[in-house]
Amino acid sequence: MTPLERLGLLALHRLDPETAHALSVRALNAGLAPTPGPVTSARLATTLAGLALPNPVGLAAGFDKNAVAVNRLTRAGFGFIEVGAATPRPQEGNARPRLFRLTEDRAVINRFGFNNEGSEAITARLAARQRGPVPVGLNLGANKDSADRAADFGQVLALAGPHVDFATVNVSSPNTERLRDLQGKAALTALLTGVLAVRDTLAVRIPVFVKIAPDLDAAGLEDIAEAALTSGIDGIIATNTTLSRSGLRSPHATQTGGLSGAPLFELSTRVLARISALTEGRLPLVGVGGISSAEQAYAKIRAGASAVQLYSGLVYGGLSLAADIARGLDALLERDGFASVAEAVGTGRGDWL
């Protein structure tokens, strides 16, 4: 982290978290944040469900909900970017305050409720973006008051699909009532089948992932794995935020919403390893939850992830964290004799089972 970035983070942390986030996006677009370009090497370059990635360190959905900073983000060191979530119609989300820093725990709680400007506005920005070597995807959401939430995902994909490199079906947010009910085997299989039918109408076939919660029990994970394999989905993102509050010290620990950041690392990595074992390498996985160092990204990969995503770690480590993790991951792969990311995937899965 540069001295300027460190100073900027200190200033942002004196503000309301949601205000600070909005200012950080504006600063990025104004050229005030580090944009070294995609970090890559022969070891780091990899593929994810057919996508060519400069490196396996991605940005998770939620940072750029409305796709207003895509061009800058693709030059911030990430190997791939996910924007959104987008719902068919604009949505205000839940009342503020709805974002909380848990500084003592290096964590964040949010209860945004899929606030976004709607699929039409977001798609227009995605259509106008500069294409480059960093894939850009969209997280698909459902309107809170929708009569058919399953149909909402397909509706957003039909509109935005021609302008993105991948899409994610988000059935794992804890902040939209009963959304996680769609993770049940029958409901999820039907949902994914419907979304993939829409995907197959696109002129260019793009991979579609499903993002799951970390709070599933063993039977729930088995259902997810079976639904994913049966439907023909292209991969699984594990995991979204948790409802658990175990071991927190911050006074904000009692806030409702999804918890992300450092406390999520162990739980999400165990879920990742279990999904890896259940799918037996037949689906690529993306590891998310609590990553704030190259060592943690490497642990996710060795637990079974072909790529990883960050978000909450940036709150405490700044935007330069993405490039730092990619470079550190390259060094760890070299240290352990791996010629590529793919060689390391799953080599430490047993440590998490």
Q: What is the distance between the alpha carbons of residues 287 and 211, in angstroms, rounded to a whole number? A: 10
pLDDT confidence tier of residue 182, bands split at 50, 70 and 90: confident
pLDDT of 176 > 80? The answer is no
CA quadruple 75, 108, 164, 345: dihedral sign: positive
Helices (H), the chain: 3-12, 17-29, 70-73, 119-128, 149-160, 185-199, 218-231, 265-279, 294-303, 312-317, 321-335, 341-344
Strand partners, 51: 48
Active site residues: 173
Percent of the chain with pLDDT over 70: 99
Cβ–Cβ < 8 Å for 252, 17:
no
**Mean predicted lDDT score pLDDT of the chain:** 95
β-pairing, 57-59 with 80-86?
parallel
Phi, psi (5° rounding) for residue 95? -70, 150
Angle among Cα 113, 286, 2 to the nearest 5 degrees reads 80
Written as six digits, the tokens of 46 are: 């990899």
Copy the structure tokens of residue 281: 């390498």
Q: pLDDT confidence of 172, banded at 50, 70, 90?
A: confident
Which residue from 132, 151, 134 is spatially nearest to 143, judged by alpha carbons? 151
- Local structure of residue 95 (DSSP, 8 states): P
189-206 pLDDT, tens digit each: 989 999 999 999 999 999
